[in-house]
Structure 1
Amino acid sequence: MTIFTIDDVQKTFTNGEIKEEILKGVNLTLKEGEVTALIGASGSGKSTLLTIAAGLQPASNGKVVFDGENIANLRSEEVRKIRATKFGFVFQFAHLVPFLTVEEQLALMLEVSETGLPKHEQKKEIDAILKVVEMDHRKKAYPSSLSGGEQQRVAIARAIIHKPKILFADEPTASLDSKRSKDVMMLIRTITTTLNITTLMVTHDEEMLTFADRIIKMSDGQIIQNAV
């Protein structure tokens, strides 16, 4: 089932009299339970496309349709609420709050996403998701005591604790070694399938493409290859 549609999306930056086209009419659909990988050289537009899809910046033209609604037409506060409640984010670095324990990181996300769960239900959700990412034994730990791979697992747990419909991942394995990268991608692959999440991922690492259902190659602001 298609849950997300990018329709003729364009992005232009203006610097004085100079206009630079970053995206040149991109079309893309995302389906539930699939991992879609965006690849391409630096400057190809893939990260710009991801941030526009995630509502982190507006398109110059075109539609970004999520769950049947064009988020490009929504007020900034409405887009913010969608990001907080329906989207999850994983970046190259975990960006964990240094003074919060693992379980406190997830509790904060539940508060931000306005789930409305009572405290005892929050604890159950946190314990359950930490088991999924195999970090339940470190729930009292602070980020400084975790390895890079462990921190990224916590970041993934934080990104999905509120049961988002879409997971946006921007170079989620770039800061990890080969083994940890594969472990993290296997986790993303498993979560996408079992929780029926839609994952859109930007990556430079060709080894990670084996975990994707679809591979979208971009060049000069356009999709030049759409492989299944």
Structure 2
Amino acid sequence: MSAFTIDEVKKTFTNGEIEEEILKGVNLTLKEGEITALVGPSGSGKSTILTIAAGLQSASGGEIIFEGKDMTKMSQEDIRHIRATDFGFVFQSSHLVPFLTVEEQLQLMLEVSETKTSKKEQSKAIEEILKLVDMEHRKDAYPSSLSGGERQRVAIARAIIHRPKILFADEPTASLDTKRSKDVMELLQELTRTLHLTTLMVTHDEEMLPYADRIITMRDGYIVE
């Protein structure tokens, strides 16, 4: 099932009198239950297309269709609401709040995601997600006592605690060693399928590509493969 469509998306940056075209008409359809990996050299435009798709920056042209609506025509408030309710984000760094426990990290996410649930429902949701990422035994731990792999597992739990439809992952394994990277990718693969997520991932690590359902290569602002 098609969940998200990027149609002829362009992006131009202006530096003084010089215009630089970063994206030159990108077309991409993302499907539910699949991981789509964007690869390519630095400057190819892969991170730009991810941030535009996620509503973190605007396109210069084209359409971003989510649930039948063009996000490029939405107000900033409507886009903010979609990011809070329907999108999840995992980055290279876990960006955990240092003075919050694992459980508190997830409680905070439920609050900012505008999820209208009771405290009892929140506790149940946190318990279920921590089991999914195999971190329930660390719910009272602070980030400083977690390994890099554990921190990224918590970051993934935080990204999906509100049950988003689209998951954006920007270099999710770049700060991890090979074993922990594979553990994280196995987790992302399992969650994408079992929770019917639509996952768009940017990566430089070719060893992570076998975990993707589709691999899209970008170069000079185009999809080339």
TM-score normalised by the chain length of structure 2:
1.00
Alignment of 1:196-215 (within 5 A): 196-215=196-215
Tell me, yes or no, if structure 1 residue 140 matches structure 2 residue 137.
no
Instruction: Please give the alpha-carbon distance, in whole angstroms, between the structure 1 residues aligned to 2:50 and 2:115.
Output: 25
Alignment of 1:73-92 (within 5 A): 73-92=73-92
Q: Which amino acid aligns with 2:186?
A: M
Instruction: Please give the alpha-carbon distance, in whole angstroms, between the structure 1 residues aligned to 2:197 and 2:4.
Output: 12
Give the deviation of 1:114 after TM superposition. Answer: 1.1
SS in 1 for 2:97: coil
Alignment of 1:1-228 (within 5 A): 1-225=1-225
Superposed CA RMSD in Å reads 0.4
Instruction: Please give the alpha-carbon distance, in whole angstroms, between the structure 1 residues aligned to 2:163 and 2:208.
Output: 24
SS in 2 for 1:204: coil
Instruction: Please give the alpha-carbon distance, in whole angstroms, between the structure 2 residues aligned to 1:28 and 1:128.
Output: 33
1:17-65 residue CA offsets vs partner (Å, 9 max, x unmatched): 1000000000000010000000000000000000000000000000000
TM-score normalised by the chain length of structure 1:
0.98
SS in 2 for 1:199: strand
Instruction: Please give the alpha-carbon distance, in whole angstroms, between the structure 1 residues aligned to 2:106 and 2:70.
Output: 29
Instruction: Please give the alpha-carbon distance, in whole angstroms, between the structure 2 residues aligned to 1:61 and 1:93.
Output: 30
1:173-224 residue CA offsets vs partner (Å, 9 max, x unmatched): 0000000000000000000000000000000000100000000000000000
Instruction: Please give the alpha-carbon distance, in whole angstroms, between the structure 2 residues aligned to 1:148 and 1:70.
Output: 37
Instruction: Please give the alpha-carbon distance, in whole angstroms, between the structure 2 residues aligned to 1:120 and 1:165.
Output: 23
Instruction: Please give the alpha-carbon distance, in whole angstroms, between the structure 2 residues aligned to 1:144 and 1:78.
Output: 36
Instruction: Please give the alpha-carbon distance, in whole angstroms, between the structure 2 residues aligned to 1:35 and 1:150.
Output: 21
Q: Which amino acid aligns with 1:177?
A: D
SS in 2 for 1:121: helix
Q: Which amino acid aligns with 1:99?
A: F
Instruction: Please give the alpha-carbon distance, in whole angstroms, between the structure 2 residues aligned to 1:17 and 1:70.
Output: 30
Give the deviation of 1:115 after TM superposition. Answer: 1.1
User: After TM superposition, where is structure 1 displaced by more than 4 Å over at least 4 residues in a row?
Assistant: none
SS in 1 for 2:173: coil
Instruction: Please give the alpha-carbon distance, in whole angstroms, between the structure 2 residues aligned to 1:31 and 1:128.
Output: 25
Instruction: Please give the alpha-carbon distance, in whole angstroms, between the structure 1 residues aligned to 2:157 and 2:88.
Output: 10
Structure 2 runs not aligned, ≥5 long: none
Instruction: Please give the alpha-carbon distance, in whole angstroms, between the structure 1 residues aligned to 2:148 and 2:70.
Output: 37
What percentage of aligned pairs have identical amino acids? 73
Aligned positions, number: 225
Structure 1 runs not aligned, ≥5 long: none
Instruction: Please give the alpha-carbon distance, in whole angstroms, between the structure 2 residues aligned to 1:177 and 1:121.
Output: 36
1:79-137 residue CA offsets vs partner (Å, 9 max, x unmatched): 00100100000000000000100000000111111111100110000011000000000
Q: Which amino acid aligns with 2:41?
A: A
Give the deviation of 1:5 after TM superposition. Answer: 0.4
Q: Which amino acid aligns with 1:205?
A: D
Give the deviation of 1:76 after TM superposition. Answer: 0.4
Q: Which amino acid aligns with 2:139?
A: K
